[in-house]
Amino acid sequence: MATDLVVELARRTLEAAVLLVAPLLIIATIVSLLINLAQVLTSLQDTTLSTVPRLTAVAAAAYLLLPWMVRRLGLFTVALLSDFRPYLR
């Protein structure tokens, strides 16, 4: 397999991974910022208070976004496996 083909395959794989994970990371970041702001305003510095809502928000987002994520991953897999000729050289 040629080097440029390996680089292209790695690039496409990383793009797909970033596209799938980005919504969850954005939700986790927004929830973390809101919780940290509330902690600064109330002077409550409990780690459980910051961890549980963040995990709950990410779990709920993953549950809601799972059909979209599976569909995108399926499209990527079908596109990758539909034409095997470049990988056989």
Residue 29: pLDDT band with limits 50, 70, 90: very high
Residue 89 has pLDDT above 80, yes or no: no
Residue 2 has pLDDT above 90, yes or no: no
> Which tops the pLDDT comparison, 82 or 88?
82
pLDDT digit string, tens, across residues 45-76: 877 788 899 999 999 999 999 999 999 999 99
**Number of separate helices (H) and strands (E) present in the chain:** 2, 0
- Mean of the per-residue pLDDT values of the chain: 90
Q: pLDDT value at position 32?
A: 93
Distance from C-alpha of 77 to C-alpha of 71, rounded to nearest angstrom: 10
